[in-house]
Amino acid sequence: MTTKKELVENETCPAQGLLKLLSGKWKLEIFRLAFDAPVRFSSLLRQIEGSNKQSLSVALRELEEVELLEKIVITAKPLHIEYHMTPKGKSMVPVLKQLENLL
């Protein structure tokens, strides 16, 4: 079974692999919200209209799997989880900006 990470890494065109990865439900919105600052799951749930816990969890897990987001468990009370954009994730922004300029 091919993982999403292997799919992206084996693409001949990096932009094509990125588009395949980010084409899932809520992923572009998650990517946009997490770029500037760490974001909590509950905040994502509130900010992404129409999202639900299950589909949001799947999208976050897939973005973690390909190392675009990092999940950090904050043990301070109350316990919470934050998602940080990784350097690899931030490196994808120029590609997305170029695609946006084409529209």
Query: Using CA atoms, how far apart are residues 72 and 70, in angstroms rounded to an integer?
Result: 6
Number of domains the chain is built from: 1
23-80 tens-digit pLDDT: 778 888 898 899 889 999 999 999 999 899 999 999 999 999 989 999 999 998 888 8
Mean pLDDT of 83-90: 92
pLDDT at 46: 94
Residues spanned by the domain of 40: 4-95
In a domain, 100, yes or no: no
In a domain, 101, yes or no: no
pLDDT at 83: 96
| Strand partners for 39 | 83
In a domain, 55, yes or no: yes
Query: Using CA atoms, how far apart are residues 55 and 51, in angstroms rounded to an integer?
Result: 7
More confident residue, 6 or 72: 72
CATH code assigned at 58: 1.10.10.10
pLDDT at 98: 79
